[in-house]
Amino acid sequence: MKKKEKLIFIIIMIPVWILLLYEYNCGYAKRLNNAIESNSESMVVKILKFPGNINSIPHIPLLWDLPNDTPLTKASFEGNINIIKILLDNGASMNTSKYSWRPLEAALMRYYPNKLEVVKLLIEYGADVNLKNFDGYTPILIETEKVLREKNGIKIKMRS
């Protein structure tokens, strides 16, 4: 190949590589999150058969106004224990998140009947209860403050 042909090839391939990287990461996470939101265990299993990054986020980080939860965080927020187990058994990471809550925090944010079962499962799979979030708070501190405020009317000022 001549230099000019190589340059043209590279210029043409750059957008293709960008699209493939986006699809492998963001597109994969977006499809998983949609299946989780629909509460479709079969769709989650079907998506996981294809290659992709299970720990990715569904949107480019520059778009801060969009929800940017990893599939495991989304499943923890929704409270579907079967989907959470499927994701964990397929390598979903428990303690990584730069742009959103971690799964344990997400599970503690919302009430659903099996909340304690979800929290227990996440801890059994290695959720770090001492890991601080982007505000400097641990999941235990967040839940303690929430219980004191909601159930007892006690307001505390949390410090990181």
Question: Residue 157: inside a domain, yes or no?
Answer: no
Number of structural domains in the chain: 1
pLDDT score, position 64: 56
Task: With respect to residue 115, please indicate whether it lies within any of the assigned structural domains.
Answer: yes
The answer to whether residue 152 sits within a structural domain is no
In a domain, 138, yes or no: no
Is residue 56 in a domain?
A: yes
Which two tokens mark 6? Answer: 């190589």
155 domain residue, yes or no? no
Percent of the residues in the chain that have a pLDDT greater than 90, as a whole number = 33
**In sequence order, which residues have a C-beta less than 8 Å from that of residue 14 and are 6 or more positions away?**
none
Report the alpha-carbon distance of residue 85 to residue 107 in Å, rounded: 14
19 assigned to some structural domain: yes
pLDDT of residue 65: 56
CATH assignment at residue 106: 1.25.40.20
Q: What is the pLDDT of residues 84-125, one digit of tens each?
A: 999 999 999 988 766 678 899 889 888 788 988 999 999 999
Q: Which domain holds residue 27?
A: 3-128
State the DSSP string of 13-65: HHHHHHHHHHIIIIIHHHHHHHHHHTT-HHHHHHHHTS---TT--SS-TT-TT
Whole-angstrom Cα distance, residue 15 to residue 8? 12
- pLDDT at position 52: 85
If you count DSSP H runs as helices and E runs as strands, how many of each does the chain have, helices first?
A: 8, 0
Percent of the chain past pLDDT 70, that is, above it, reads 83
Give a yes or no: residue 28 inside a domain: yes
